[in-house]
Amino acid sequence: MPHPLTLDFPRDWEERILEQICLVKQIKFPHWPCPENICTQNPSPLCEEVGKDSFGSDYIENLKQNAISTEFMYQTKDASTGAASIIVNNEGQNIIVIVAGANLLLNSDDLRKAADIISRARVIICQLEISPATSLEALTMARKSGVKTLFNPAPATADLDAQFYTVSDIFCCNETEAEILTELTISNPAAAGKAGSMLIERGCKIVIITLGAEGCVFVSAEEPGPKHIPTQKVLKPVDTTGAGDSFVGALAFYLAYYPNLPMEEMIKRANFVASVSVQSSGTQTSFPYKKDLPLNLF
């Protein structure tokens, strides 16, 4: 069923009848539907807690069908499966309300069960749709084992633990998240560069701020000045939901399998994958498979 669901977003207190609604199995459940795996069909494991309900069971089955390891997926009766309510307008832009549910039950004991696989990983992705303490512990475990750490502070919180900046090899956020973290207004790539530089000062090695149709800004502690990396223009985006996940997943793939590529080239390729994802409806449903992407990306 196609998106858009509404012509534009409602104003405060406005009641709105939507044009249509779409329920998909591949709804944007945290902690990441591993877009890098859906893109490449590599069986990297996903560590997550879901409810013992139809959403959770369907989600696990969907991951299996996409060749993603569910060895460290746990189902609980203590909470419902985390879910997101997403509204998309006819410009392809979205607003999202997350109900974390079982995501917040993922804990240290679960991480210890996955400690061996974490220590042998090439890259680990963490974000904030699970408990921040659990994400921080996972990043710290990975860093101690020499694993590349990629952190996406979503949904962002102004009082983010300062340790996140120092344990993240790559700190990747969108412009809204960067505004929350830095209290700067980001209306263009130059402003994003200032925000990125501020995050570098907090201990980050590499900061990437995604800017939607404007591509992203890349700042490194080892290189002078921010770099704006544009993306290909999409004339009529269908649904931008999950574009950031698609970008981060693709970036993780290049970090793991093409580690000798310059970071700027990895970002360009991840930008391209994200631009493909906004041309289809849904989140996981919009993530392209490797066979659907140009050969020059690999």
Positions annotated as catalytic residues are: 245
Taking CA 211 as the corner, what is the angle to CA 207 and CA 214, rounded to the nearest 5 degrees? 125
Rounded Cα distance between 297 and 265, Å, is 10
Residue carrying the six token digits 């746990």: 74
Task: Please enumerate in sequence order all residues whose Cβ is within 8 A of that of 283, keeping only pairs 6 or more positions apart, or say none.
Answer: 26, 27, 28, 33, 86, 241, 242, 245
Report whether the peptide linkage leading into residue 3 is cis, meaning its omega lies within 30 degrees of zero: no
Q: Check if the beta carbon of residue 61 is closer than 8 Å to that of residue 85.
A: no
For the chain, how far is it from start to end, CA to CA, in angstroms? 32
What is the spatial distance between Cα 198 and Cα 204, in angstroms, rounded to a whole number?
A: 9
User: Is 248 buried (19+), middle (13-18) or exposed (0-12) by CB count in 10 A?
Assistant: buried
Contact 185, 160 (CB under 8 A): no
